[in-house]
Every structure is written in structure tokens, then in C-alpha cells.
Structure 1
């Protein structure tokens, strides 16, 4: 959707799955070059179109509306798509953007300057963007609660890229013997080998997701059992998660009907923290799974 807003009512449901579609299409199209469009916030587009003033609407059909607008001192047209995400037309906005991005240098093609695809899982998407939007993937290396801030609309924002590292173009990993990050969120494979991959951030996100879902820190999860054990860290975490979830359900702390979503979220988190990076999903896969889980909420 060129410079679009799917509507405030849909904002909480949109981007995890659909942002990944756009990223995949753009990345395939751009042949390792930087993605040539900007990302705009809902507020920017609301301001540009005077809250989608009907008097500024100059064209519409069954799937979208066109509005005149003004952004950063320039006249723009904003294409606002209707809710077609679960129809056979769902790929149309993304195909539209990709082709416009490729053709923007032509003098007779409307120039695409950006899009708006806000997300209910913005941190997952932000990490996926770092990994896929550039010819040299950027690995954050310090995904943790302390590096996430909330704006005035309670939308989380990823911060602190001081420990980030780039993977050389055409490569899948980079070696760095100077181990950085936060204990409890560090990828064990990275700590053991010094090898940084996209899956290093997946582990950090999995640890973050565990904290969000269980309400427990990694230390709490490890020490939850009443008796000491010589089993490894990963197995102890899994065992204690089961105990925590079962206790919460039995105590009535889990909202009715959400047990399935809770379990799915925990399973996703656990596969993200697998010791073997090859068994972890990509961040694109993580965002898709989060979207699937969200759609199952009654």
C-alpha cells in the first residue's frame, strides 16, 4: 500500500504477517540493494491527510481510496487500502508497492516514497527488518527488556544498537571473539564459538518472549524448581515453564480460552532458544507464527 494506513481499527492486527510479505517481495526484487522506500507512522499519515478528510479523497474503488495530502512540504497522494487481508486480493498492495519501487525512476510512473504497516509485534518485525532490509544484515546482539521503550501510544520501540554488528555481504555469519550482550539473553552458541548469525538475535527474542509470557525472568525460570538438578539449562527451563503454566491455569490466572495461545507462544519461545541455531526459526518465520497465534485469540 503506497503511503498507506489500513485504518486504526485494524492497526493491532496487521503487520506481523503482512510486513514479512512486503519485506520478502522487496528483498527479492531489490537484488541485495537497500530497500528504496520509507516507513511512515499512522500519525504522520493522519496529519498529512487531515485525518483522512473526505474532502481530500479524490478516487476510490472496492479495495482502496486515494487522498490528497501534504508531507514534509511536498504534495503527496495516500493510497488507503480497505480490509482485503484475508481475501484472494491480499497480495495486491504488496505487489503494487514492489513494482512501484522498481519503477520509481521512470518519469511517467508515480513515485512511491513510503508505506505505513504498523504491527502488534513491532519488536519482532524490527529485528526481522535489521536482518533482511540491507545487503549487509545487522545483528542487534542485545535483545532484552531494557532495550525496549514504549511511546505515548504504548507501542514498543527497539533501541540501543551500540553492540550491533554487520554480517559481510554474501555471508551468513561473522566471527567476533569479543562477546557482548546480556547474560540470560545471550545465544549459547555465540558465547561458545564467537560466531554471530541472525539466529543469535532469534535466541534473544525467544528469551524476551519467555519473560513476557510467563512473567518470570530467566533467573526465575531457571531457579523455579524446588530441588537442585544436574540437568542442563535448556531442559530445566522447559521443565519449569511447564510447571509455571500448569500452576497458572490451575489457579485461574489464565483468561478463559487463551490456554492454547499461551501454549503456542511458549512453544515458539522455546524453539527460538534452542541451543542449535539451525533448529531456530528465522525472525520472518517468528513474525508469521506470532500473527498466526494472534489470529487464534477468541
Structure 2
């Protein structure tokens, strides 16, 4: 019985690897313009061993009803942060899980981003393996880790932090979107300090950047540009401004 179950798991892992590998390769080639970006591949046995088969005790976040869950575990004696996408949140055609690994690979060498060490494609959706987490995400209780973790921050500090970092940007976004919808976007650009000594080309550059930012905030995934498209558009805007500085 045990041998049959292991054989079944291996068969499922092989099918997942072939499916995920195909989609992942397409996304990686498209994002990197064909430039090689090798990523280490971990096996499902290594992931299961590091997380005790995704045991809750290895979980870094008490709220598992999310699109992904963070785990902490050791592989070959080295600690890692392991990110698993939650299957029930996705359908087979969804791309966010694959985009996640592609974008993580692209930015992993930049300061301020977790370094992507590798991935495992032997699950229904890719499992990402990052460097050891020096910092963890605050859970809903204001502490770090699972339910039995000590309270590291007082509730008033937890509440204040999120009220400033979340509420204010949302309000600004809705305000700017409203101005755009009534064709009054220029109202955003009337700050005397910001408009002082600004050329017409620079003004157009600001307007183009605002419109691009609004496109990135579209509700539907299909309507939002990919990161590589945003970078190319910003480069185009910058180049146009430098080419016609006095316009």
C-alpha cells in the first residue's frame, strides 16, 4: 500500500513537472527576451522533508486562507523560506503563480528583494524556494509566525502602521482615477513647486507616467501590463523626453 501510494505521488509529480515546466519556460523566455536565467530545481521530496509535508508547525503565517503560504525549513542543512501557492485560489489557466517565479527570478539580485534560490515544479503550482527569511510578515494578531508566537508589537502600533500605509495610498489612487475619468488629470499637475521650471516635454512625461500607473491598477489581470512592459514603457517615455528636452 505504501509503495503504491509513493508510486502514485511520483507519477503525479512527473505530470506536474512537465506541465509547469512548459508554462514556466514560456513565461521566462518572454520576460527575459530569450536571455538565459538558470534556476535551481528542488524535488518534491526535498520540499516535503523541509516542511514536514506542509505541516502547520512549519508555517510562518497563521492565516492560511490566502493565495500563498510561507513555510520555513531546512534543505541539505541550510535554512530556506518556502512559498507555496494555494491551489483552491487558482484555476488551471491562471498565470499569477508562474509570473511570480519569473518576476522573483528577475529581481532576486537587487537589494531589498528576497533572493530566489530555486523552485519545485512537481506540485500543481510552482513552489518557490527563497533565502532564509530574516524578517517575517506581521500576522493579523500583530505578531510574527503562528498563533503561539509572542506578541512582538502592541496592537496600537500595528493598527497605526496599516492605517497610514494602506488607507492613504488608496485614497490618493481613487482621487487621481476620478480626475482622469472626468478628463481633468491636469489638476494633479498644478502644484507650483512641482511645475516650476518644467518643460512641455517633462510635463508630458509626468502625464504619461500617471496614465501608466493607472493601467497598473486595473482590476482585471488581463488589463494590467506586465513588469517588463512597464519597464519598456518608462524607458520609452524617458528617451522621448531626453530627445526633445526643449519641446
TM range (shorter): 0.3 to 0.5
With a CA cutoff of 8 Å and minimum separation of 6, indicate the structure with the bigger relative contact order.
Answer: 1
Larger % of helix: which? 2
TM-score, with normalisation over the residues of structure 1?
0.34
TM-score, with normalisation over the residues of structure 2?
0.40
